[in-house]
């Protein structure tokens, strides 16, 4: 690998391109990213980036860009995958790990954060085995008393350990956590105690207090990560120390640390929020050990909730505090805390109702930042809202006190709705709160996919819809009281799976009409309502059918596409998702509108391709194109030409401009269109050399759709590939893929397509080399996935070219090599093959070997005939062997981390499995029986004798069943 020397010219260029990565002009930014991508494989590249970060003489913009680029590079490239290029040499890796901790600690905070994340990514791969001194490097800084440095260490520890919160339990994870606890838990606690002491001394010093609060917050975050998987003995033994200080911090108030704005949370709020999270975790997971401390925490957190204001800056604190109460309210052992009528009344009046109210800040968010409002309200984002927390507490209380809670809140709902009825202009917020209350009271269980799935018997959701919801949906003016209209739509969405069919049908035209509302929240909710309504099934039957929608198709499509013209909604993912669902529902009924739909989708594509910024919208846009093509070509396959005529020009532009986000989508749709043809039209032929460009195959996100497109070429134009001398480059792609543990299955897809569709005479000169490459890879690094792939491939080859051809080609590499193939691959591993089609291919190939390959009954291989038959019967009858070797890191396609153009499968572009035998072998068991009968007839008496004396009795019984089913017998 070449080295990137730190000459003045190289550094000047590097600085220029780093700055350009921040350029808002897409073409300039992409050119810079491409340049950096081109040099990142050189040795010393990462060291030069770190050097730029470290130099005070370099401007901060460049240092920041270098830090971000370094972090992203490490995230993508630090993991070493066998068979994949390693872009960071061992020398650079060693230098980075030696320097990065001290460098990070000496940097300003904005650079420190980036390098801290980078250490986290490196640690995820190398810690602890390849970076054993990291913990000691970090914990030794605790004794310096330098809190900016200590905070850098804590931030890094948080970055490193937070994955413990979501990783699956394993011996490897336990071993790592045990090692971390042994080296880090005690220093962390000592630091915690020392920091509390410092806080007492420096409480009046605002600057010092802020740094100390930041330290305590980070300590609390690390505490959460280290305690998440299980309660470590160290923390259990020292629980009193931790909990005493946590309680003191919850009760502590320092007016000097209050922020001056209503929006920004201060250091006190952030620390108290994290402490609420920590004690909620202890109450849920370690309730027995935590029991002595619980009453004081309930008292402190209750006090916090009733004294904390409604300003936005307190939202996280309030949400986590309510989350703590929710975590104990649904536990039998804490039931007595809420049993008294007075306690319940206080919770309802002083905690739930105030936090369910629609505040001025919420209205401002609704009007001024609708995308954020939508993200929080209907997407269930990571940022919990007060309202969601209050709703969760209602549900938790209802577990043991449903009747009592419903009674209390029913009275409040009545009062709130009465207030609204008296003055609808002034008291519309009361109705909003009432709807939220009813929704939380009625919902007993729900899922993200289906909404509410079980409702309380004490709340009549249909009556409430008729008396309070439908009026807002049917209101003549689509722009009046937008919040209540959004509430009404959301109510129907929430209960869509439990409301009667007539309610959904009555709501649907209202949703259509509300697409015309100017409010981004309202027309977005309307689109989401339509999308969800057409998916609702009750008792297995769709609630809304194509016949229901058919009369209003034109109006519906007009309103949906028209909604894109509203301010802020030109790339609204909910509208696009609704469009694709409606086309999918209508199917044939949508055909008259497809030309208009296609034109509108094409215009959208050309617009967003200039600067792709909304991944979900873009995904649904391509899905909508797929479903449009699918519906159109199902009715009339000849219409594929009109789709290609419309889409090829923008697709060519996307490929030429290298719009990386869209290229995998383009390849999927091109594959789908080519698969509809019976041959390979010229525009595809002209494109084929471009598809074999190695740069395209470097990007992981391109590999699945490119493989599919190359397979389609092989199927539809095998002669064209030979004529244009492209078989060798295709085999070059196969060779590249087969060398990679993560992509070898795509290599098998390509070589199997060649065997299935290509003229074998053209392939014959290369096939020996193919087998040599496969065996070399098998010897170098064998994985279960690769073994399955090679077994399926060899059986496909045998089924297409005959068993003798397979034996001949393998033995031409090394005499009697096929004996090892039979013993070590076929007999030992065929049970691992999964998938019905793959199993069928193996069965047919093995039948060909058993019954049409004389060498298998000859002196060299006869010993394997019975074990091979036994293995085939096992493939039919035994469960799949899904075991993995202990030392195998089985890499899935999704296992590749980092910023790469991701591959997002288009659901409506799905590829159908094709039977390589084209129906000639409907039942592989019958095929075995019939083939054995033919073999037996050609060698009377030999085959029955061989089977009866050697085959396992259980297998023999199954075989007799196949013979009986086929109506044949062995002679």
Mean pLDDT by 10 residues, the chain (971 residues): 85 92 85 88 93 93 94 92 81 93 91 92 90 89 90 92 90 92 95 95 92 96 96 96 97 89 92 96 94 94 92 93 92 85 88 94 95 84 78 91 92 95 95 95 80 85 96 95 97 94 96 98 98 93 95 97 96 97 95 95 95 94 96 93 96 93 96 95 95 91 96 95 95 95 94 94 94 95 93 97 97 96 96 94 97 94 96 93 53 33 77 86 96 94 91 95 95 84
Residues with Cβ within 8 Å of 752's Cβ and at least 6 positions away in sequence, in order, are: 792, 793, 796
* Both tokens assigned to 100: 């990065």
What is the number of residues in the chain? 971
**What is the 3 state secondary structure string of 256-270?**
HHCCCCCCCCCHHHH
Residues with Cβ within 8 Å of 200's Cβ and at least 6 positions away in sequence, in order, are: none
Q: What are phi and psi of 614, to 5 degrees?
A: -125, 90
CB atoms within 10 A of CB 295: 10
Strand partners, 3: 43
Measured between alpha carbons, how far is 663 from 691 in angstroms, rounded to an integer? 11
Residues with Cβ within 8 Å of 710's Cβ and at least 6 positions away in sequence, in order, are: 691, 692, 730, 733, 750, 753
Let me know: does 149 contact 141? Beta carbons within 8 Å. yes
Nearest to 604 by CA among 642, 634, 639, 646: 646
Residue given tokens 């000859």 in the structure block: 858
Let me know: does 120 contact 159? Beta carbons within 8 Å. yes
Measured between alpha carbons, how far is 796 from 738 in angstroms, rounded to an integer? 17
The pLDDT of residue 83: 67
Supply the DSSP symbol for 167. S
Let me know: does 537 contact 580? Beta carbons within 8 Å. no
Residues with Cβ within 8 Å of 286's Cβ and at least 6 positions away in sequence, in order, are: 231, 236
Measured between alpha carbons, how far is 801 from 446 in angstroms, rounded to an integer? 55
| CA dihedral angle for residue 163, residue 168, residue 173, residue 174, rounded to 10 degrees | 120
Query: What's the pTM?
Result: 0.87
The pLDDT of residue 380: 61
Containing H/E element for 455? Answer: strand 451-455
Supply the DSSP symbol for 538. E
Let me know: does 745 contact 764? Beta carbons within 8 Å. no
The pLDDT of residue 893: 31
Containing H/E element for 537? Answer: strand 537-538
The pLDDT of residue 553: 96
Measured between alpha carbons, how far is 466 from 487 in angstroms, rounded to an integer? 14
Bond preceding residue 128 cis, omega within 30 of 0:
yes
Nearest to 195 by CA among 180, 184, 210: 210
Residues with Cβ within 8 Å of 965's Cβ and at least 6 positions away in sequence, in order, are: 925, 926, 929
Q: What are phi and psi of 783, to 5 degrees?
A: -125, 160
* Both tokens assigned to 653: 């532009």
The pLDDT of residue 895: 34
The pLDDT of residue 887: 45
Measured between alpha carbons, how far is 282 from 291 in angstroms, rounded to an integer? 9
Angle between helices 953-966 and 865-877 (to 10 degrees): 70
The pLDDT of residue 896: 32
Nearest to 642 by CA among 705, 609, 597: 597
* Both tokens assigned to 563: 């909604």
Helices then strands, each counted (H, E), the chain? 51, 4
Q: What are phi and psi of 456, to 5 degrees?
A: -70, 140
Let me know: does 712 contact 671? Beta carbons within 8 Å. yes
Q: What are phi and psi of 537, to 5 degrees?
A: -125, 135
The pLDDT of residue 902: 57
Residue given tokens 């957190």 in the structure block: 301
Containing H/E element for 444? Answer: strand 443-447
């Amino acid at each position: 690998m070449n080295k990137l020397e730190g000459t003045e010219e190289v550094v000047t260029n590097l600085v220029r391109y780093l700055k350009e990565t921040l350029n808002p002009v897409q073409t300039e930014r992409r050119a810079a990213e491409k340049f950096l991508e081109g040099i990142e494989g050189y040795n010393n590249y990462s060291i030069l980036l770190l050097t730029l970060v470290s130099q005070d003489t370099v401007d901060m913009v460049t240092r920041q860009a270098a830090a971000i680029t370094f972090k992203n590079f490490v995230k993508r490239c630090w993991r070493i995958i066998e068979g994949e290029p390693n872009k960071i040499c061992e020398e650079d890796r060693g230098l980075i790990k030696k320097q990065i901790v001290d460098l990070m600690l000496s940097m300003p905070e904005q650079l420190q954060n980036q390098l801290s994340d980078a250490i986290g990514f490196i640690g995820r791969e190398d810690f602890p085995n390849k970076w054993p001194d990291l913990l000691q490097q970090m914990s030794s800084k605790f004794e310096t008393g330098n809190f900016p440095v200590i905070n850098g260490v804590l931030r890094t520890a948080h970055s490193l350990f937070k994955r413990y919160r979501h990783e699956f339990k394993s011996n490897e994870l336990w071993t790592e956590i045990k090692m971390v606890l042994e080296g880090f838990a005690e220093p962390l606690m000592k630091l915690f105690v020392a920091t509390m002491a410092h806080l007492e001394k420096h409480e009046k010093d605002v600057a010092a207090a802020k740094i100390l609060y930041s330290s305590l917050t980070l300590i609390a975050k690390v505490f959460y990560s280290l305690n998440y998987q299980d309660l470590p003995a160290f923390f259990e033994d020292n629980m009193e120390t931790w909990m005493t200080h946590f309680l003191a911090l919850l009760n502590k108030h320092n007016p000097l640390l209050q922020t001056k704005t209503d929006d920004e949370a201060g250091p006190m709020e952030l620390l108290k929020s994290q402490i609420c999270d920590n004690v909620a975790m202890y109450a849920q997971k370690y309730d027995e050990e935590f029991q002595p401390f619980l009453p004081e925490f309930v008292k402190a957190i209750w006090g916090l909730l009733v004294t904390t204001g409604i300003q936005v800056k307190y939202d996280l604190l309030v949400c986590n505090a309510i989350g703590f109460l929710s975590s104990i309210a649904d536990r039998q052992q804490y039931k007595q805390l809420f049993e008294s009528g007075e306690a319940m009344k206080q919770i309802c009046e002083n905690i739930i109702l105030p936090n369910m109210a629609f505040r001025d800040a919420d209205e401002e968010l609704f009007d001024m930042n609708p995308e954020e409002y939508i993200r929080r309200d209907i997407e269930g984002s990571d940022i919990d809202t007060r309202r969601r927390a209050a709703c969760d507490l209602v549900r938790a209380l209802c577990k043991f006190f449903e009747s009592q809670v419903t009674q209390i809140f029913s009275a409040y709902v009545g009062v709130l709705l009465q207030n609204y009825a008296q003055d609808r202009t002034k008291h519309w917020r009361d109705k909003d709160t009432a709807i939220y209350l009813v929704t939380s009271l009625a919902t007993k269980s729900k899922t993200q996919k289906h909404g509410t799935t079980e409702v309380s018997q004490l709340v009549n959701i249909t009556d409430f819809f008729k008396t309070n919801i439908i009026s807002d949906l049917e209101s003549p003016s689509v722009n009046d009281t937008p919040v209540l209209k959004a509430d009404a739509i959301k109510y129907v969405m929430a209960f869509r799976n439990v409301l009667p069919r007539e309610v959904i049908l009555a709501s649907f035209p209202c949703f259509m009409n509300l697409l015309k509302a100017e409010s981004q929240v309202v027309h977005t909710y309307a689109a989401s309502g339509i999308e969800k309504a057409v998916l609702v099934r009750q008792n297995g039957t769709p609630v809304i059918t194509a016949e229901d929608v058919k009369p209003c198709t034109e109006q519906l499509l007009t309103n949906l596409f028209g909604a894109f013209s509203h301010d802020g909604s030109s790339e609204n993912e909910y509208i696009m998702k609704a469009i694709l669902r409606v086309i999918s529902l209508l199917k044939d009924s949508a055909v008259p509108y497809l030309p208009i739909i296609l034109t509108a989708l094409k215009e959208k594509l050309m617009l967003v391709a200039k600067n792709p910024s909304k991944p979900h919208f873009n995904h649904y846009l391509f899905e909508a194109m797929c479903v449009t093509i699918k519906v159109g070509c199902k009715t009339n396959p000849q219409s594929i030409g009109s789709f290609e005529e419309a889409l090829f020009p923008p697709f060519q532009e996307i490929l030429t401009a290298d719009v990386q986000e869209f290229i995998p989508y383009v390849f999927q749709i091109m594959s789908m269109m080519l698969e509809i043809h019976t041959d390979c039209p010229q525009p595809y032929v002209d494109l084929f050399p471009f598809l074999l460009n190695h740069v395209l195959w470097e990007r992981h996100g391109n590999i699945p759709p490119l493989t599919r497109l190359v397979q389609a070429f092989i199927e539809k134009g095998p002669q064209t590939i030979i004529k244009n001398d492209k078989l060798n480059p295709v085999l070059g792609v196969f060779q590249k893929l087969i060398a990679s543990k993560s992509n070898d299955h795509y290599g098998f897809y390509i070589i199997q397509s060649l065997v299935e569709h290509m003229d074998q005479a053209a392939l014959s000169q290369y096939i020996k080399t193919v087998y040599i490459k496969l065996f070399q890879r098998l010897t170098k690094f064998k994985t279960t996935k690769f073994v399955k792939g090679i077994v399926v491939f060899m059986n496909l080859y045998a089924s297409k070219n005959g068993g003798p051809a397979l034996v001949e080609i393998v033995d031409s590499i090394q005499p009697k090599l096929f004996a090892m193939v039979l013993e070590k691959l076929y007999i030992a591993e065929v049970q691992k093959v999964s998938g019905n089609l793959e199993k069928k291919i193996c069965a047919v190939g093995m039948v060909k070997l058993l019954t049409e390959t004389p060498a298998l009954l000859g002196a060299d291989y006869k010993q394997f005939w019975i074990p091979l038959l036994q293995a085939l019967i096992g493939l039919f009858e035994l469960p799949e062997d899904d075991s993995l070797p202990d030392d195998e890191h089985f890499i899935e396609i999704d296992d590749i981390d980092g910023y790469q153009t991701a591959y997002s499968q288009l659901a409506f572009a799905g590829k159908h499995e094709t039977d390589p035998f084209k129906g000639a072998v409907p039942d592989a068991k019958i095929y075995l029986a019939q083939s054995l009968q033919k073999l037996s007839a050609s060698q009377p008496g030999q085959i029955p004798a061989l089977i009866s004396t050697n085959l396992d009795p259980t297998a023999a019984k199954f075989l007799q069943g196949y013979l009986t089913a086929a109506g044949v017998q062995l002679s």
